[in-house]
Amino acid sequence: MSGTTVHLLRPGTVDYHHALSWQQLLARGVRDGTGQETLLLLQHPPVYTLGRRAKAEHILVDPAEILARGAEIVDADRGGDITFHGPGQLVGYPVLDLRGRGILPGDYVRLLEDMLVRALAEFGIPGERVQGRPGVWAGGAKIAAIGVRVREGVTTHGFALNVSTDLSWFEAIVPCGLRDASVTSMAALLAEAPPMDAVQDAVAEAFAVSFGVALIEGGFAVPAPAGERLAVIGR
């Protein structure tokens, strides 16, 4: 159900599989008219996700090495290739009714890029778009990845902004399938990493501007994955 407001939830660090289950539940509610559009802002434990266009050769090391280092490798039903999520990276999952808002999928990606450029500007980082390469770039390297899924007009998955991410994690893959590109972070471009809460605030404010909505912050209870009782997401 689209409207002038979107819920903002900031649950901290969340397992990738749990976050995906939350997105699916929220998207189902938006599709059937019983739920509210939502922006999830969170972090993940180390995980490599393979989008629908991912190629096996874009994993550059033995997967056993990745597992030994403490990261998962999972298939994702989003667009794009392979990427990394982990501590120090702000991941955003907007669950929006694009059809109700009259937004085409391609325009949605551009709005996400616009939002990230706005947020980075708050910290003095000039973000850029590169034609044909979704995401946001800074200093000649990719600082934010975008990979989305739209089903029956409703979005899942989203964006990942490197704040203070350990960039060595990306050495095990060809990020986003781009062999001629490197990755960077806000910490690498600034004298010190900005506080994650401040980055979340900037992204939330930029999201409200780019999408023309008001954000309402607050958690609510949802069924937890794997048959657990209830999980309260948000703060």
Triad 98, 54, 135: Cα angle to 5°? 50
DSSP state at residue 224: P
Residue 230 has φ and ψ, to the nearest 5°, of -140, 145
All residues at 6 or more sequence positions from 61 whose CB lies less than 8 Å from its CB, including other chains: 172
Q: Label the pairing between strands 154-162 and 214-217.
A: unpaired
- Is 64 noted as a catalytic residue in this protein? no
DSSP of 136-178, one letter per residue?
Answer: EEETTEEEEEEEEEEETTEEEEEEEEESS--GGGGGGB-GGG-
Q: Which of 176, 196, 213, 233 is catalytic?
A: 176
Helix ranges restricted to H, the chain? 16-32, 63-69, 98-101, 105-121, 186-189, 196-211
Element of type H or E holding 113: helix 105-121
Catalytic residues: 176
